[in-house]
Amino acid sequence: MQAYSLTERIPVEEIVVQIQQGDKEMHDYLLKSYQPFTAKAVSEVCKRYIDPLIDDEFSIGLSAFNEAIFLYCPEKGNSFLSFAKLIVKRKVIDYIRYNSKRQNYLSFDQFYDEERMENPAEISVVIEQYNEEQDAINRRDETLDYREKLREFNLSLSELAEVSPKHRDARDNAVKIARVLLDNDELKKYVLTKKKLPIKKLEKHVHVSKKTLERNRKFILAIFIVLNGNYIYLQDYLKEVGK
């Protein structure tokens, strides 16, 4: 097998995407390279050293790691390794529970109270929980980034609450105007360069008065920033607005 000296520079998420698209060589490489990662995750559950050659728990963990590769959703932009670790741990816990019922092992709670995993969910619930946690983190990060971008335009989140149009029609029009800015290369370049609204030029492309543009200037700029940026969650709020 060809040595993947360059893969250390490639994010593991990109490798996972290649595997999901059918790259078997990368698949073998990833499973082999992350055996120590898998063994460590299994050891954290079992509270003892796990030998990949003799411990059944490792085989369960490796199978779970492989399953995580194909369950992982790259569109979320989340960490694959965090997701894989969660899947591995939950699968190993299920395995231990199953065997404890058959062989009268010590209470599961004695081993795993520290991990607070007394009631592990099914794999679909694990994925949902993981995505919810990651969504919360992503929303926070996105808001912080948006706040910084607003500052470049001398705007703030608190200010937007004050200047936001009170009527739905006015908000819809503001969103439509922001989309006009985004779709017109000349207007877009002006906004990004000057950090302000090209009111005179914009008048020729919209059906609202100069007074209306000036009154809603800050709100239009704020919407333009959302549409122009990689703000997945903020853009969700605008999907049904201004169409």
Residue ranges per structural domain of the chain: 7-120, 142-236
The CB density around residue 142, as the number of other CB atoms within 10 Å, is: 18
Q: What is the DSSP letter of 9?
A: G
Task: Reply yes or no on whether the pLDDT at 45 is more than 60.
Answer: yes
Complete DSSP assignment for 23-90 = -HHHHHHHHHHTHHHHHHHHHHHHTS---TTT-HHHHHHHHHHHHHHHH--GGG---HHHHHHHHHHH
Check if the beta carbon of residue 211 is closer than 8 Å to that of residue 219: no
What is the per-residue pLDDT across 6-34, written as a single tens digit (0 to 9) for each? Answer: 455 788 899 999 999 999 999 999 999 99
Q: If pLDDT is split at 50, 70 and 90, which confidence band does 2 have?
A: very low
What is the per-residue pLDDT across 66-114, written as a single tens digit (0 to 9) for each? Answer: 999 998 887 766 788 988 988 898 888 888 777 765 554 444 444 443 3
Q: Which amino acid is at 117?
A: M
pTM above 0.85, yes or no: no
Cα–Cα distance between 78 and 177 in angstroms, integer?
33
What is the average pLDDT value for the chain, to the nearest integer? Answer: 81
Q: If pLDDT is split at 50, 70 and 90, which confidence band does 118 have?
A: very low
Q: Which amino acid is at 169?
A: D
CATH number for domain 7-120, candidates 2.40.30, 1.10.3470, 1.10.10, 1.10.1740: 1.10.1740
| Closest C-alpha among 169, 148, 158, 159 to residue 225 | 148
